[in-house]
Amino acid sequence: MTSMDATVAAPAAVFSVQRLVRFSDCDPAGMVFYPQYFVMLNALVEDWFTEGLQVHYADFLGARRLGLPMASLQCDFKAPSRMGETIALHLRLLRQGRSSLTLGVQCTGVAPQASLRWSAQAVIVTTSLAHDGPIPLPPDVQQGIARWQQISAGDRP
């Protein structure tokens, strides 16, 4: 295995959450207003950090004064989601850079309406409010990712 390979996440590791589509998420057509999907995406990253990587997100942004801004986002919307549906968001780590993480995210319904709603590729960067710029991925984030990938791999046959 080359050092390049080492930065490529095991594709098996997936972090998923489910969520009710609420009245407040929906637009006059009764469908999720798409900026709300990115509020959900932010919550997904929050939960992935705190629960998946065991890096407390609120401390990361608060006490530690680090940041996780979005650097780029690409999203294809395939089908609408409607008020009252339960949807699932699935996060995979596609690439681990020196100071960035490339995430692949899929939003689906849940059975029996498990169709794809949208899929996105998002690059988030680790920054420091003190330096006002990118910093290398902190060690606890690196270790959290390695542990999460191992555990997720262990979940699967």
What is the pairing mode between strands 100-109 and 86-96?
antiparallel
From 1-9, 18-26, 90-98, 135-143, give the range in contact with a copy of itself by CB under 8 A.
Answer: 18-26
Give the residue among 124, 36, 121 at the shortest CA–CA distance from 81.
36
Between 68 and 146, CB nearer to a copy of itself:
68
What is the three-class DSSP state of 24?
A: helix
Cα–Cα distance for residue pair 52/127, rounded to 1 Å: 20
Between 72 and 150, CB nearer to a copy of itself:
72
Give the residue among 21, 75, 18, 20 at the shortest CA–CA distance from 47.
18
Q: How many residues bind a copy of itself (CB under 8 A)?
A: 42
What is the three-class DSSP state of 122?
A: strand
Between 6 and 29, CB nearer to a copy of itself:
29
Between 125 and 145, CB nearer to a copy of itself:
125
Cα–Cα distance for residue pair 125/134, rounded to 1 Å: 7
Query: What is the four-CA torsion angle of 127, 128, 133, 139, rounded to 10 degrees?
Result: -50
Cα–Cα distance for residue pair 84/129, rounded to 1 Å: 39
- Residues 101-130 touching a copy of itself, rule: CB under 8 A, are 129
- Residues 24-83 touching a copy of itself, rule: CB under 8 A, are 24, 26-31, 33-36, 38-39, 42-43, 46, 56-59, 61-62, 67, 69-77, 80, 82-83
Say whether residue 22 binds a copy of itself (CB under 8 A).
yes
Say whether residue 94 binds a copy of itself (CB under 8 A).
no
- Residues in contact with a copy of itself by CB under 8 A are 20-24, 26-31, 33-36, 38-39, 42-43, 46, 56-59, 61-62, 67, 69-77, 80, 82-85, 129
